[in-house]
Structure 1
């Protein structure tokens, strides 16, 4: 049948007698106190003090995050960021470019950090820079500490009444074709001051960015493939033959058989898409072959060609329902459905904007019933 659409902190580490740990030494004749000369860089005595200190990396970062201006803590935070850049790039040259600092400056900062910790963090003997055993351990804890600081900063900027904020979303391309005009638009209408960033990408990429805390949520399919990703099942996504209103099959009431579908010129997504995998598998299982006239890697191109009336495609029937100028025809037996899901990272911090969006998703009706 054809369906044509008509939506308490630690104290600063100081020497006995007061003063910043990064202050200058008192100089002059015995019995006469010279003025303290402030220095931006810590002395060897300060480094020895850091080695003796029981503060962990997390302790120093907490001091920075609660507003302390201790120069030593700020220095260590900068060193940690430099260290992680070299660890990621495996090269001082590439890391320096990424940090926009000179290579000698970066090398000096890493040497200072190694002197502070009393261990060698990098093996510099090969063609590429490699983490030592000490470096591997330190990198793991340094990443966790910076991640905790980032969460703290995001929490501080959270506005309980959604007067501002941001939301980082991703979805597989076919979802973008029917969710942007209804679900996303409705959320934006309710919360116009929340800055939305939406990208279309494969499920593997969505899960990778969620795991790296570079996304707040993503639309994909059940089940998630990574163990640190959790999924909220949403609705089943049936596929249909989608045509323009002027296509010769647009008003057909009877479902198409696999053989009839195989004789219809189609514009399909490329084999890189999960939807195409479902289509190809269906044809193989029913002993038919699709007549692919055009193959493209963008849903937008598929829909533009279909609207012109000469070609049809196979996409979720919700695409036709949301478009207003497309028709969806049933296929019998139907193509296998997949369950749409909202993916998030297990244990991730959820901003007020993210929680509001999840509530909106839960209230959103199944697209097949719209």
Structure 2
């Protein structure tokens, strides 16, 4: 009953309409209204002002709803705790990660984790760093792989390894045989295929160009890393991507820049104080073991 009342309250507050809230909850509008009235009676005051075309929270409701939101997070965490089996014979892992990790980091760890714990249900979601912060804060994600430059004080950050952007070209590209770093002035002359502005890595690439006082020759922009990699592998267009991509994409050439783009630190992210499931704990231990002495131990060398 507590969970149901809180979910009903939050739905009405979000939709500002009893009919739409009832539709989203898959119950009838009269049943929803009755439940909200019961909650108001229990609390001793009206939560919503129903006098206008749109339903609004009263001062009484506004004072209560933030506590209700926090309580819902704790109650849902408690439900997961009840289903969390310490021997990992069942359970769930909700993992989020920023897009570049799809190409070199996530698959090896997930493959090994699934082999070790085949009955754990894994929910993988590719997100922006801002969406990861929101997902962790809203308890929609157990763990995330992102970067240390997180803005929220509610996120716990554990550094894993450095990641540095570098020039990536096909084996047939004119600069593929270069043995010395490519100067930024020369980089400005090369046709580039870059990730679009929705990727945080593009922000760092643009900041690098600005710091060098050069205007890049951006021939292609794409919102897909796999599309950029395919374009680069087939033609004379270069790109800028993390050097650790060579762990999975060894058919491409990775050439250092002079000066280098400043490194970022890859990190494991969790919400502070959140319940840690057995699955999330086991995944964390496996990832760190693979980075320290397992199949992913070479990543730090690639990032230099």
Instruction: Tell me which moved more, 200-209 or 120-129.
Output: 120-129
Where does residue 189 of structure 2 map in the other structure? 263
Q: Report the 3-state secondary structure (helix = DSSP H, G, I; strand = E; otherwise coil) of the residue aligned with 2:182.
A: coil
Where does residue 117 of structure 2 map in the other structure? 191
Where does residue 63 of structure 2 map in the other structure? 137
- Tell me, yes or no, if structure 1 residue 80 matches structure 2 residue 6: yes
Distance 2:199 2:4 in 1: 42
Distance 1:171 1:359 in 2: 17
Of 150, 172, 189, the match for 1:224: 150
Give the conservation status (yes or no) of the 8 Å contact 2:190–2:217. Answer: yes
Higher Rg: 1
Instruction: Tell me which moved more, 90-99 or 121-130.
Output: 121-130
Displacement of 1:263 after TM fit? 1.2
Displacement of 1:366 after TM fit? 5.8
Where does residue 338 of structure 1 map in the other structure? 264
Give the conservation status (yes or no) of the 8 Å contact 1:242–1:320. Answer: no
Relative to the length of structure 2, the TM-score reads: 0.90
- Tell me, yes or no, if structure 1 residue 359 matches structure 2 residue 291: no
Distance 2:4 2:100 in 1: 42
Distance 1:84 1:131 in 2: 10
Of 97, 102, 105, the match for 1:171: 97
Displacement of 1:188 after TM fit? 2.5
Task: Please show how residues 113-128 of structure 1 align to structure 2 within 5 Å.
Answer: 113-128=39-54
Where does residue 214 of structure 1 map in the other structure? 140
Q: Gapped runs of 5+ residues in structure 1?
A: 1-73
Of 284, 296, 300, the match for 1:368: 300
Distance 1:114 1:181 in 2: 49
Q: Deviations over 1:182-240 (max 9, x none)?
A: 33333233223222222222111100010000001111111311121110011111111
Give the conservation status (yes or no) of the 8 Å contact 1:224–1:230. Answer: no
Distance 1:208 1:294 in 2: 31
Q: CA RMSD in A?
A: 1.9
Residues 170, 77 of structure 1: alpha-carbon distance in 2 compared, 3 angstrom cutoff:
closer
Q: Gapped runs of 5+ residues in structure 2?
A: 292-296
How many positions carry a matched residue from both structures? Answer: 296
Q: Report the 3-state secondary structure (helix = DSSP H, G, I; strand = E; otherwise coil) of the residue aligned with 1:323.
A: coil
Displacement of 1:157 after TM fit? 1.4
Relative to the length of structure 1, the TM-score reads: 0.75
Distance 1:219 1:335 in 2: 21
- Tell me, yes or no, if structure 1 residue 294 matches structure 2 residue 220: yes
Q: Report the 3-state secondary structure (helix = DSSP H, G, I; strand = E; otherwise coil) of the residue aligned with 2:93.
A: strand
Distance 1:111 1:169 in 2: 38
Residues 312, 136 of structure 1: alpha-carbon distance in 2 compared, 3 angstrom cutoff:
same
Distance 2:197 2:109 in 1: 28
Give the conservation status (yes or no) of the 8 Å contact 2:73–2:138. Answer: no
